[in-house]
Amino acid sequence: MGGGVAGEDPITFGMAGRYAHALFELARDEKALDAVKQDLDKFDAMIADSADLNRVVRSPVFDADVQLKALSAILDRAEIKGLAANFLRVITTNRRLFAVRDMIRAYRALVARHKGEVAAQVTVAEKMSDKNLDALKSALKSVTGGKDVDLDINTDPAIIGGLIVKVGSRMVDTSLRTKLNAIKIAMKEAR
């Protein structure tokens, strides 16, 4: 039997990880890690903010030509150029655009690791203010031994309030939804 999964780098494992790793190596060689990250973050935010764009990205109904035309218009409007734009066009042509958000997440993690930062995934009920973002970064920095933290923030109104923070394999869930579910379970068991 060949090499097992145990030896695989968890960031680059799977299709999305392989694409992200290829982009990371190109961006590193061209000294464009941060520029590519900024462009990908901008594109990721656009997907998160637009149900229509999310549908175009994720739906198998649209063929590669339609996706490529839509993508080109979006990239022009957002002024996303260079390596990030070429990467997005390649994954669209290869019918892999549906996994772009996973690729972006893996790319962020690779850049963070390269810089000695820690990547953290945060889920909040609504957009955070800059003041709260700074407070969260400071709190996470103290927990990670002083390492800078690269935040990947997702908004999910279903959690009602609070936060879900995942740093590596550690997860802290202080969401109101989780607390309410725990109360419901306790009430059922108390019968």
Tell me if residue 66 falls in helix, strand or coil: helix
How does pLDDT run across 159-170, given as a tens digit for each residue? Answer: 988 889 988 778
Cα(36)–Cα(24) distance, rounded to whole angstroms? 9
State the residue for tokens 């022009």.
Answer: 76
How does pLDDT run across 58-101, given as a tens digit for each residue? Answer: 888 888 898 899 999 999 999 999 999 999 999 999 999 999 99
Spatial strand order in the sheet of 118-124: 149-155, 118-124, 163-167, 170-173
Q: Which two tokens stand for residue 109?
A: 């993690």
How does pLDDT run across 15-45, given as a tens digit for each residue? Answer: 999 999 999 999 999 999 999 999 999 999 9
29 CB neighbour count, 10 Å cutoff: 10
**Top CATH class, 117-191:** alpha beta
Q: How far is CA 30 from CA 35, 69, 75, 92, in A?
A: 10, 27, 21, 22
Which of these, 15, 191, 188, 181, lies nearest to 91 by C-alpha position? Answer: 15
Mean pLDDT of 98-122: 90
Cα(43)–Cα(95) distance, rounded to whole angstroms? 17
Rg (CA), the chain: 19
Tell me if residue 149 falls in helix, strand or coil: strand
Give the list of residues 6+ apart from residue 95 with CB closer than 8 angstroms, or none. Answer: 64
Residue 11 has pLDDT above 90, yes or no: no
pLDDT of residue 93: 93
> Which of 8-17, 67-76, 134-143, 153-162 is predicted with the least confidence, judged by mean pLDDT?
8-17
pLDDT of residue 153: 86
List the domain boundaries for the chain. Answer: 13-115, 117-191
pLDDT of residue 56: 87
Mean pLDDT over the full length of the chain = 87
Can you give the pTM of this predicted structure? Answer: 0.73
Fold for domain 13-115? Peroxidase; domain 1 (1.10.520)
Cα(22)–Cα(86) distance, rounded to whole angstroms? 13
Mean pLDDT of 110-132: 88
CA 49 to chain centroid: 14
Which of 46-50, 77-81, 147-151, 164-168: highest mean pLDDT? 77-81
